[in-house]
Amino acid sequence: MITNYQLRITNFLLLMIFAISLRAQIPIYGADSLMKHYNSKMNHFIDRDSALGSFYSIDLFGISIFAGETEKKNNQIEYRVNWAELPIYKNIIATASREEAMQIMLSKGNRPFPPDVMKRYHVVPDFIKSQPTAKLPLKGLRIALDPGHIAADTAMGRIEDKYLLFKTSKGPTNVQRTANDSVMISLAEGMLTWQTANALAVLLRSEGAEVFMTRQKGNMTAFGKTYAQWKKNDYKRTLDSLLKLNPTDIHLRRLKSGRVKDENSIFRYVFRDAELRKRAEIINAFHPDLTIIIHYNVDEKNKPWNKPSSKNFCMTFVPGSFQDGELGDSERRFDFLRLLLTDDIEKSTSVSGLAGLEFQSELEVPLAKTSDATYLSEHCIPAGLPGVFCRNLSLTRLIQGTMIYGETFYQDNFDECLRLTEKPRFAAEGNQPLGGNERISEVVDAYNKAILLWAKSLQ
């Protein structure tokens, strides 16, 4: 016979065991496979050289982030996500602003999510937006387009160091060049990406998508002003705020002292990163279902690009591939964990794989292999589909969600630079151009085909 007293003791002991097990973090069902999965993803796609072990630890209960080696040694956790907290973490990442999500994680630390956060983010966001019809296959989908760089002319192209300016001859080599067949190549990458994005936007809208562009016209920056306007209004302020964050940075100090004041340095050390951040910020605010970052590549060995190259490859980049020294601030660590725990890398790889195949077949350009460029072999990880590489670029890291970062071909390739220089086609009657440059139209078609296949896969 159990007495009332004994019952109370048993209840008390059960309660104690329950409380202790909570504190001791009993692993959830399937914890070992979660641990295996995230360890494997980390090793295959994120921690490229296995150099970042001081910033995280993955165990049976979840994953911890540390600010560095000393912190890890002293078990000073920056924050932690237990496997049981994964759903709420993913809801926060999908719905909160980046700033808010970062703040929630930093104040969470090693504790559970506070009740107000649990209440606010326990509902799974409604992701099903696609409502295709026969005429509007992209209806309901939001697509962000980012035409890379700025320049609409080679003068601005020179400032951002993204331009081609040389004479070449028609035909496959320069051997038989004569005065008659020599052609002036004058291209700025920002001009090509702008034309591509603009034509692609028209097409995607006609297929029902809601399209957002980071730049509104040639020579226009993501700040909604020209580079010259930015320099006049925002340069000093931006330089001062960067100096506050990096007081020992030698390039910034030289610019501040006036010892260095050339346009390329101002662009490179102050403008470029600030503008890339702006692009990511306005894309994230649009909450796109897909982001297309449009670039045209060059042959890295052909620098300073004053002659054509015989090489040509297409490739796409997706997030991942962090390297030593790339987790120095809490924002980078936030994205590092986000890319591990969300499906952004997987989804981007899948759609980028489609885009690569379209580039290859539509444009007849081979997909790059790791050995085809130094940056691929030294900074990237093959993402598992042909021509798709994980690469830790500002935009692959800062933009959330699914993306295609396309590098369709080498613009300095001897055939491509001639095709890109050809005038637009004209209609037989009247003099109205039928469209832009023919080669760019082919690029637009290749992106569009990949986007339509992606949209179909959502149904």
Residues in contact with Zn ion by CB under 5 A are 148, 295
Cβ at position 300, least distance to Zn ion in Å:
12
Of the two residues 295 and 391, which places its CB atom closer to Zn ion in the complex? 295
Four-CA torsion 21, 92, 86, 340, nearest 10 degrees: -130
Tokens of 347: 């989804």
DSSP assignment, residue 366?
P
Of the two residues 102 and 398, which places its CB atom closer to Zn ion in the complex? 398
Of the two residues 300 and 346, which places its CB atom closer to Zn ion in the complex? 300
Distance CA 359, CA 408 (A): 6
Of the two residues 79 and 389, which places its CB atom closer to Zn ion in the complex? 389
Cβ at position 249, least distance to Zn ion in Å:
24
Cβ at position 392, least distance to Zn ion in Å:
16
Task: Work out whether the CA dihedral 336, 280, 277, 408 comes out positive or negative.
Answer: positive
Distance CA 324, CA 305 (A): 30
Of the two residues 410 and 414, which places its CB atom closer to Zn ion in the complex? 410
Please report where in the chains the tokens 């641990």 appear, as a residue.
35
Of the two residues 148 and 319, which places its CB atom closer to Zn ion in the complex? 148
Distance CA 387, CA 383 (A): 8
Cβ at position 409, least distance to Zn ion in Å:
12
Cβ at position 281, least distance to Zn ion in Å:
20
Cβ at position 293, least distance to Zn ion in Å:
9
Cβ at position 442, least distance to Zn ion in Å:
19
Sheet hosting strand 56-58, strand order edge to edge: 56-58, 62-65, 79-82
Of the two residues 90 and 295, which places its CB atom closer to Zn ion in the complex? 295
Of the two residues 80 and 311, which places its CB atom closer to Zn ion in the complex? 311
Of the two residues 145 and 209, which places its CB atom closer to Zn ion in the complex? 145
φ, ψ for residue 79, nearest 5 deg: -165, 170
Of the two residues 411 and 441, which places its CB atom closer to Zn ion in the complex? 411
φ, ψ for residue 182, nearest 5 deg: -80, 140
* DSSP state letters, 121-143: H-SPP--------SS-TTTT-EE
Cβ at position 192, least distance to Zn ion in Å:
9
Cβ at position 405, least distance to Zn ion in Å:
10
Distances (CA, A) of 269 to 150, 233, 260: 16, 17, 11
Of the two residues 71 and 161, which places its CB atom closer to Zn ion in the complex? 161
Cβ burial of 354 (10 Å; 0-12, 13-18, 19+) is buried
Distances (CA, A) of 108 to 70, 82, 102, 201: 20, 12, 10, 41
- Contact between 181 and 288 (Cβ < 8 Å): no
Distance CA 341, CA 27 (A): 18
Cβ at position 411, least distance to Zn ion in Å:
9
Distances (CA, A) of 253 to 239, 248, 250, 257: 9, 7, 5, 6
Residue nearest to Zn ion (CB): 295
Shortest CA distance to 267 belongs to which of 303, 306, 239?
239
- Ramachandran region of residue 208, left (φ > 0), alpha (ψ -120 to 50) or beta? left
Cβ at position 20, least distance to Zn ion in Å:
56
Task: Work out whether the CA dihedral 260, 263, 269, 275 comes out positive or negative.
Answer: positive
